[in-house]
Amino acid sequence: MSAYESMVMLETVCSPTSALFGFLGVSSAIAFSNLGAAYGTAKAGVGISSMGVMRPDMVMRSIIPVVMAGVLGIYGLITAVIINSKIKVGTYSAFLGYAHFAAGLVVGLSGLAAGLA
């Protein structure tokens, strides 16, 4: 079997667009959730700064929002690792690609919305 024939056979089993959508899900989970985490951390940092001026004894308690905002990025990373481990050459269907893309968007955009809130 020539290299061209094996490539054509592999393409009929695993469409390149299915892998594209799967990896788009991975990247959107990481990117959007980390954008939300960064924005949430920035807003929490402003709160810590104002808390340090008004009530210096409460500064350590105001670190909790920074930790909670950082967890959003970790959620996106965990989801991206899970999706990435499911992408296998030769058995990855278009349905799985679309499903992983949707899962990445759901996690990423919910992390972004939580960071903006």
Nearest-10 crossing angle of helices 64-86, 94-116: 170
pTM for the model stands at 0.81
Q: What is the pLDDT of residues 4-25, one digit of tens each?
A: 666 555 555 667 888 899 999 9
Question: pLDDT tens for residues 79-115?
Answer: 999 999 998 887 888 889 999 999 999 999 999 999 9
Tokens of 105: 């968007």
DSSP codes of every residue in 12-74: HHS-HHHHHHHHHHHHHHHHHHHHHHHHHHHHHHHHHHHHHHH-GGGTTGGGHHHHHHHHHHH
Q: Domain segments of the chain: what residues?
A: 23-116
Render pLDDT for 18-74 as a digit per residue (tens, 0 to 9): 889 999 999 999 999 999 999 999 999 998 888 888 888 888 888 888 999 999 999
**Location of structure tokens 């989970």:** 29
